[in-house]
Amino acid sequence: MTMRHKKTVLDKAVKQFKEFGLPLDIDYKSYTGIVGAREAIDPVSIKRSFKAWKYVTNAVRLQCPELANKPEPKPVPEPIKPPKPAPKASGKPAAKPAVKEGVNGKNI
C-alpha cells in the first residue's frame, strides 16, 4: 500500500531510523535488508512523496539532527613506554677466569 502524504512517510522513516539505529548515509537496499521488506517504506511511496531515497534521508537529517550528530568513538591512546635506561659508561667488561675441566668432570 503506497502512502502519498509526505508527513506520514517521513514520520515512519524517522521512527525506523531511531528504532534500528540506522546511519543517514545508508542506501535503500541495505535499509530494506535491515528493517525487513514488510516493514520498510515501499519504493512507490518514496517516489510519490520525495522523488528519491536521498531526499528521504535528507529530510530525516533535518527532522532529527541528533541522528546526524552521533559522537564518534575517541581513538585509544597508545600506552606510554618507560624511557630506556642510559647505558653504563664503563670501559671493557670484566674477563671471566678460565676453568679447565678434567676427565672426571672435576675442575683442575
Q: What is the residue extent of each domain of the chain?
A: 6-68
| Mean pLDDT (whole number) for 82-97 | 70
For the chain, how long is the longest CA-to-CA vector? 106
pLDDT in tens, 10-65: 999 999 999 999 999 999 999 999 999 999 999 999 999 999 999 999 999 999 98
**Taking the model in full, what pTM does it have?**
0.61
User: Please, which pLDDT band fits residue 91 given cuts at 50, 70 and 90?
Assistant: low
Q: What is the pLDDT of residue 69?
A: 73
pLDDT given at position 102:
64
Distance CA 4, CA 46 (A): 8
C-alpha cell at 29: 537496499
Least confident of 28-37, 75-84, 92-101: 92-101
CA distances from 10 to 6, 15, 77 (A): 6, 9, 41
